[in-house]
Chains A and B, each alone.
Chain A
C-alpha cells in the first residue's frame, strides 16, 4: 500500500512540525532538548511514483532458530491462544511464530541479560525462575513434549489435531496435567502465551503484528509522537504508525 505509506508519512511530518511549533521550546539559555533537531524525518518528501515502482519484498519471513516442524507447531499453538475472529487476524496471520523464532535467536533466547550463575536450587514460587535452562532450550523441550503428549493422547501430531483437541492438549500444559521432568509444563505454556501477546502487539519491526493489524484491532495508535490534541478529548481513533515511519520511509 504505497499510497497509504506516503499518506502516513505526510501526517507524521505534520505531527512533528506541529510539535516543534506547539512545544514552545524556549531557545537560548542552556538548551537541553537534544532530540528536537532530529525529530523531523530524514526524508521529508517522497516521490509517489518512486514508491510505487519499488515493490518491497519481506525477507524476514524465514527462520533463525526453529526447525520447520517446530515452526508449524508454534504457528498452530499460538493461533489457539490468540485465534482469528470477527475482530481480525489471529496469531498465525499476525506473524507471531516468526516473531518468536526471531526472538529466540537473540539475547532473549539465550537469557543473556539475566543472572544464570550457579548454584541452582529449587526455590519458593515467590522467588521466581531458578532453572539453569535457557528459553530456546525450554522451547525445544516444551514443543517436543507437546508433540509427545498429542501422540500419546490422540495418536496424532499436534498440528493434525482438531482445534478442540489442540485446546485440550494446551490446557493440560497450562494446568500442569502433563508431568515433565526437566521443565514446568505450565511455565512453558505461560511463556508461549506471553510471547504470543508480544508477537501480536509489538512494533512490526520484530516480524509480528503484521501490517499493524494487531494494533488496528484494538484501536491502538502505535508509535505516535504526540497526543496533545486528543489527550483531554473523548475517545478518538487514530490510524496507527510504526517505528519505521519515524525514519521517513
Chain B
C-alpha cells in the first residue's frame, strides 16, 4: 500500500526545461508545486572536472542509466522490436535539469510554415503534394500567436543572436548580441553571401556576454571552452534549468523538488487525474502524491509511456489511424552534409561553443519552391564550431583505411584541417511511425518499455540528397581542396549518433479527434492533465526543438493558471 502524502496544487513529473518553466511561472503566482525528478540533484559545482571527453561524451555520465530503462526499436511492424542496449542515435537525459543540462544551446523558433504546414502546403502546391500516408497536420496555433512566448523564453535564457532574415517576425531583438564570428564561420558567411543566400549567427543559449534576466538571475559569459553537448557548463554560461528557472521557483518557497523519485502512474478517477504514484528509488518505497493538476514534463518517451500505462487518452492505432497517444512520432534527417579538407589552412576547431555557428534558412520550411521536388519542408544548413574533441573526431578523406599507419597519419594531418557544413533536415510524420508499449521488454519496475516503430521514407531520402548537394555547393565556395559527402541516406540506424530531437506522441492541435492536447498543452480527454515537451510537435522542423519547447511551456503555464481559476477545457 503506497504512502499517501497531503495534496498539492500541482505535481510536475520531470524537472527539465518544461518542468522548470512551469514551476517558476506557477509558484510566482502562488501555486504550491512539487517536482518529481527520477535522477539526482545537479549543480554547477559538479562540473569542475567536466572537460573529460571519455567520461561525459563516450561513457554518458549525464545520461539515463540504460540498465534500468531504455526503449525498443524496429524499422517496421514486420520486425521484432529489440531494446536499445547501448547509446547511439540519441541521448536520454537524467537528473535535475534533464536534457536541458547536456544540450548545445541552439535556440531556434520554428518557422511560421511549421505551425500551419498542412494548410500552407495545400495552399501552394495542392493536396496531391502530400503523400497518402504522410500525416502532417496544423498545430492548432500560429507562429504569431506563439511569438510572445518565444520572446519570453529567449529573455529568460538570455539568447545571443541576430535576426534571421528568413524567419518569422520578431517583436523584439535577441536579448544579447551574437557570439563571436570565427574564421571558419566567416568563411561560411562569405561563401553563402556569394551564393546569394542569407547567413546569420546561430541563436545561442551560450551567453555572448554577462546577462541578468527579467527574473533577476545573473549569469557569466561563455568562454568557448568547447565542452557543451553531453557536458554541463561549469560557468553557468549555457542556459539550463538549474541556473535559470529552478532558482526562481525555489526562491518563492512554494516549490519542492524531490529527486530520486520515479513516477510510474498518473492516477485518475473518471476523466480527471487525482495525482501520481512514484517510487523513491533510494528506498524502494511507493508514494502517492495527490494533486489538483498533473503536469507531465518528462522526455518524449516517458510522457507517452506514462499516459499509455495509466490509461489516459486514446492509444493510437496505426491500422486505422485513429487514437492519439503515440501518434506522429518524428525524428530528423541529419546526414545531409559535406566535409571539406583544407590543405593549406588550419583552424582552431578544438575551441568552440555548443551554439557557435552560422546558419542559412534558404532551404528550410517552405522558403524555397518545392514544385519540382519530391519532398516537402527542408532543413537549416549550418557550419558549427562546437569544438572537435580528439576521440570522437578523427576525420580522414574517404578511401583512407580505418586503422593502421595511413589512418593515423591522415587523422593527425587533418585534425585541424577539416570543416563541415551540415543540414538539419525536418522529419514528417507517417501513419506507420508511432510509439506504443513493448509487449516483451520491461524496465527495472517491470513496466513495459516504449517501442519505436520508425524508418526513413522516400521523403527523407530525397531531402537528405538535396541538403547534401546544397552543403557541397557551399563547401566548394568556401574553397575546400577536397569534399566528402553522403552518397545515400540508407535505413534509419539506431547505433550511430544523429540527433536527440525525438518528437511527437502527444501532439497538439485544434481537433480532439486528431490531437491529444490543445494549444495550452491541456489534454482533451483529461482536463487537469497538461503534457508539455516536444511530444506536442505534430511533426519535426529543421531546427533544434528547445526554443519551441520553451515557448510551448510558457504558453502552457498561462493555460494552467487560467485552468486553476476557471476550470474546463481552455481552447
Contacts and interface: CB of A to CB of B under 8 A. Distances in A.
A117 B226 CA distance: 36
B75 interface: yes
Contacts of B210: 23-26
Interface string B239-262: 000111001100100000000000
A218 B183 contact: no
Instruction: Report the interface size class on chain B.
Output: 35 or more
Contact of B216 (A30, A215, A226, A236): A30
A225 B237 CA distance: 13
Given A126-B493, A127-B82, A217 B412 contact: yes
Q: Which 5 A-B pairs have the closest CB atoms?
A: A227-B351, A34-B44, A226-B223, A235-B346, A223-B51
Interface in A205-249: 205-206, 214-215, 217-228, 230-236, 243, 246
Contacts of A226: 223-225
Contact of A33 (B44, B88, B412, B495): B44
A235 B83 CA distance: 44
Interface string A113-150: 11111010101111111100000000000000000000
Given A24-B220, A24-B221, A113-B66, A232 B408 contact: no
Contacts of A205: 52
Contact of A126 (B44, B390, B495): B495
B180 A80 contact: no
Given A35-B235, A114-B86, A218 B412 contact: yes
5 contacts: A26-B210, A114-B66, A219-B415, A220-B415, A233-B183
A107 interface: yes
A129 B74 CA distance: 14
Contacts of B51: 222-224, 243, 246
Contacts of A224: 51, 225
B181 interface: yes
A183 interface: no
A231 B353 CA distance: 10
Given A28-B218, A197-B394, A116 B409 contact: no
Interface of B: 43-45, 47-49, 51-54, 58-60, 65-67, 70, 73-75, 79-80, 82-86, 88, 180-183, 209-210, 212, 215-221, 223-226, 234-237, 242-244, 247-248, 251, 345-348, 350-352, 356, 390-391, 394, 402-405, 408-409, 411-412, 415-416, 440-442, 491-495
A32 B218 contact: yes
Contacts of B59: 107-108, 113
A235 B348 contact: yes
A232 B347 CA distance: 10
Contacts of A26: 210, 212, 218
B79 A30 contact: no
A116 to B, nearest CB: 7
Interface stretch (A5-13, A64-72, A82-90): A82-90
Given A219-B350, A222-B51, A231-B348, 9 more contacts: A28-B218, A35-B47, A36-B236, A113-B60, A115-B86, A127-B74, A129-B85, A220-B390, A227-B351
B101 to A, nearest CB: 13
Contacts of A158: none
A115 B83 contact: yes
A231 B224 contact: yes
A88 to B, nearest CB: 8
Given A121-B82, A225-B223, A83 B408 contact: yes
A82 B408 contact: yes
B44 A193 contact: no
Contacts of B54: 198, 202-203, 206
B36 to A, nearest CB: 22
Contacts of B491: 126
Interface string A15-52: 00001001111111111111110110000000000000
A56 interface: no
A42 to B, nearest CB: 11
A81 interface: yes
A167 interface: yes
Given A225-B225, A243-B52, A130 B44 contact: no
Contacts of A31: 218
A121 B571 CA distance: 47
Tell me the dominant secondary structure on chain B's binding face: loop
Contact of A121 (B80, B209, B226, B350): B80
Given A32-B247, A114-B85, A203-B54, A83 B404 contact: yes
Given A121-B82, A217-B412, A230 B348 contact: yes
From B67, B80, B352, name the one whose CB has the most chain A CB atoms within 10 angstroms: B67
A214 B324 CA distance: 52
A112 interface: yes
A161 interface: no
A232 B182 contact: yes
Contacts of B44: 32-35
Given A113-B67, A202-B53, A25 B88 contact: no
A98 interface: no
B350 A221 contact: yes
B390 A227 contact: no
A118 B442 CA distance: 10
B348 A23 contact: no
A159 interface: no
Contacts of A223: 51-52
A85 B409 contact: yes
B340 to A, nearest CB: 15
A247 B82 CA distance: 44
A243 B368 CA distance: 48
A227 B182 CA distance: 12
A122 B347 CA distance: 44
A63 interface: no
B225 A227 contact: yes
A32 B494 contact: no
Contacts of B80: 121, 123
Contacts of B347: 235
B225 to A, nearest CB: 6
Nearest to A202: B54
Contacts of A234: 183, 348
A125 B248 CA distance: 47
A115 B84 contact: yes
A30 B405 CA distance: 54
A167 B235 contact: no
Nearest to A234: B183
A23 B210 CA distance: 7
Contact of A112 (B67, B243, B495): B67
A193 B402 contact: yes
Contact of B209 (A24, A83, A174, A233): A24
Contacts of A170: 403
A25 B243 CA distance: 13
B223 A228 contact: yes
A227 B226 contact: yes
Contact of A231 (B247, B352, B402): B352
From A19, A38, A126, A203, name the one whose CB has the most chain B CB atoms within 10 angstroms: A126
From B60, B223, B226, name the one whose CB has the most chain A CB atoms within 10 angstroms: B223
A23 B221 CA distance: 5
A128 B351 contact: no
Contacts of A80: 403-404
Contacts of A39: 48, 234
Contacts of B49: 243, 246
